[in-house]
Amino acid sequence: MEPGWGREVVVDDSGAYPVRVYRDRRRLVPELLRDCRRWADRECLVQGQLRLTFAQHENAVLRVAGELAARGVRRGDPVLLYARNSVEWVVAYWAVLRLGAVAVLGNGWWSAAEVAGAIGAITPKLVITDERLAGWLPASVPAVDTAALTTLVTSRQDPPEPPAQAGAETDPAVVIFTSGTTGAPKGAVLPHRAVIANLHNLMYLSRRLPPELPDDYQGNISLHTLPLFHVGGIQALGMSFLTGAKMIFVEGRFDAGQVLELIERERVTSWACVPTMLARVVEHPDVSKRDTSSVRSLTAGGSSVPTELAGRAARAFPNMTKGMASVYGLTEAGGTVTFASGKDMLANPGTVGRPVPVAELRFEPTGDPEYDALGGEILVRSPQVMLGYWGQPESDAGVRPDGWLCTGDLGKQGEDGWVYLVGRKKDIIIRGGENVASAHVEARLRAHPAVAEVAVVGLAHPDLGEEVAAAVVLRPGELADPEELRAFAAEELAGFAVPSRWWVRDEPLPTNAVGKVVKRELVGEWPTRSCN
């Protein structure tokens, strides 16, 4: 195998600031397809009756790239992928990058207003969508349905001559939307080096760098239930391809019963999920009836994994010889920042791991005694950090001129290097792995004519981790019940951001001496019989 994957970490000071990098590394994401050719005859993608080998996949990528080029897509153009997880989505993703264009990952749970806002911010050259989501797009936007790509994906005709690879590792590769501190979806721009460094770290830690794998290496049979529009989805996708794994998609929405059926039928060895999905599977009535003995590893991200849930998962999947891993990361940091194996989690309860090899971490006082009593704000510097938010000035990106990304998360690090999360400086609720910015929800509810005050908080939930809850004070003489407020919120917000718990109060919201709402007090006093 040609060089490109090494373990030596060096400091690259050729740019605006020094950054830790792997000396031997790939530079452009499409180069990873070359690393997959050694697995040519293996199956790589499975969904229902559609099954592709690695060779068939690469040829499909070239055919779809030719189709996109015929539709005017050129190097540097943003192409919005706004569709459900599918084999066609994966092929289109690689085709966009193979052309040197930018893959913009649309959130399939956006409201119509959020879809319009994202399209207005990005101005995509083309949108790749599907039947379920196409109706949310403005009529004026050029689009192609994934069903129209199926013939190209399944064709056995020779692909067209591929375009020459060009570009630099600092060029934009992927845009992933995330809820910022102001709430409106922002497109985090990840360069090629960010996508590659994230994969390099994970393969380094799992001792699976491509040169270290023999040609007869048996890759995982990986069940993929994470949305591909998340950074964790792209991470799992890249890992599967580079290690010769088979990636299996569910058909339609997530269903715990279908997950168990696929695990048994396809002999799934690896599953990446969020804790909410894991909880639903281990609680399913068929979990003891299905053969889950093939599963060797689970990775849960998006929020911390309760010790009790980890124990139940170990009983549901008795052959998890690799244990259960936990990671801390964020979109703006390009994915995984810290990593803990199952053994690490048991030896250091509550840890999210140690920093990955090319990441530097700082824990900086916030200046707010309430926050600093818990820990410092986590700052990250690595080649994985985003370039900024698409179309926004650098000053708004949260990345300092010296390369440090301000995460808004609070944490601390022990002398042994283990990192612990202790809270969030930014007011974000993590519901089932989805980030919900409280300020975004509050702004929508304040627009209701009957609302005088509102505070949105996260309440503990046994399935979702947190659920979105709104405490509302109405204007004198006005009436509005939770159903009316919920419907009003749903007109502009994604479904996962609409509050599911309501507290319509007669008294004002609690505030501190400077008038700031004390949300911790609200959470502590939340009535057990609040409106749902």
Cα–Cα distance between 68 and 144 in angstroms, integer?
A: 9
> Can you name the residues that pair with 128 across neighbouring β-strands?
81, 144
Q: pLDDT band for 369, please (50, 70, 90 cuts).
A: confident
- Is the pLDDT assigned to residue 515 strictly greater than 60? no
**What does the block give as tokens for 405?**
């990304």
- Is the pLDDT assigned to residue 322 strictly greater than 70? no
- Is the pLDDT assigned to residue 432 strictly greater than 80? yes
What are the CB-based long-range contacts (under 8 Å, 24+) for 256-259? Answer: 256/280, 256/281, 256/283, 256/284, 257/284, 257/286, 259/223, 259/225
Q: Can you give the pLDDT at residue 213?
A: 95
Residue ranges of domains in the chain, CATH in brackets? 49-167 (3.40.50.980), 428-525 (3.30.300.30)
Cα–Cα distance between 203 and 210 in angstroms, integer?
A: 8
Report, as an integer, the average pLDDT of 297-325. 77
HEC string of 237-280 equals: HHHHHHCCCEEEECCCCCCHHHHHHHHHHHCCCEEEECHHHHHH
Q: Which H helix or E strand runs over 94?
A: helix 87-98
Counting beta carbons within 10 angstroms of the beta carbon of residue 242, is it exposed (0 to 12), middle (13 to 18) or buried (19 or more)? Answer: buried
- Is the pLDDT assigned to residue 180 strictly greater than 60? no
Cα–Cα distance between 104 and 106 in angstroms, integer?
A: 6
Half-sphere exposure of 429 (CA within 13 A, CB side): 30
Instruction: Read off the amino acid at residue 435.
Output: N
Q: Can you give the pLDDT at residue 304?
A: 60
Q: Can you give the pLDDT at residue 30?
A: 96
Instruction: Read off the amino acid at residue 490.
Output: A
Q: Can you give the pLDDT at residue 288?
A: 93
Q: Can you give the pLDDT at residue 438?
A: 86
Sign of torsion, CA 487 132 176 431?
A: positive
Which tens digit of pLDDT belongs to each residue from 15-69? 889 999 999 999 999 999 999 999 999 999 999 999 999 999 999 999 999 999 9
**What does the block give as tokens for 509?**
């919201």
- Is the pLDDT assigned to residue 434 strictly greater than 50? yes
Cα–Cα distance between 192 and 197 in angstroms, integer?
A: 9
| Nearest to 381, CA basis, from 359, 366, 400, 357 | 359
Q: Can you give the pLDDT at residue 474?
A: 93
Cα–Cα distance between 336 and 201 in angstroms, integer?
A: 8
Cα–Cα distance between 172 and 387 in angstroms, integer?
A: 8
Q: pLDDT band for 516, please (50, 70, 90 cuts).
A: low
First to last CA, the chain: 58
| Nearest to 350, CA basis, from 422, 278, 407, 409 | 422
Cα–Cα distance between 232 and 325 in angstroms, integer?
A: 14
Q: pLDDT band for 113, please (50, 70, 90 cuts).
A: confident
* Alpha-carbon distances of 68 from 29, 104, 146, 234, rounded to whole Å: 18, 14, 12, 21
Cα–Cα distance between 11 and 286 in angstroms, integer?
A: 51
Distance of CA 319 to the CA centre of its chain: 27
* Number of neighbours of residue 416 by Cβ within 10 angstroms: 8
Report, as an integer, the average pLDDT of 301-316. 76
Q: Can you give the pLDDT at residue 370?
A: 61
Cα–Cα distance between 262 and 250 in angstroms, integer?
A: 8
Report, as an integer, the average pLDDT of 328-354. 89
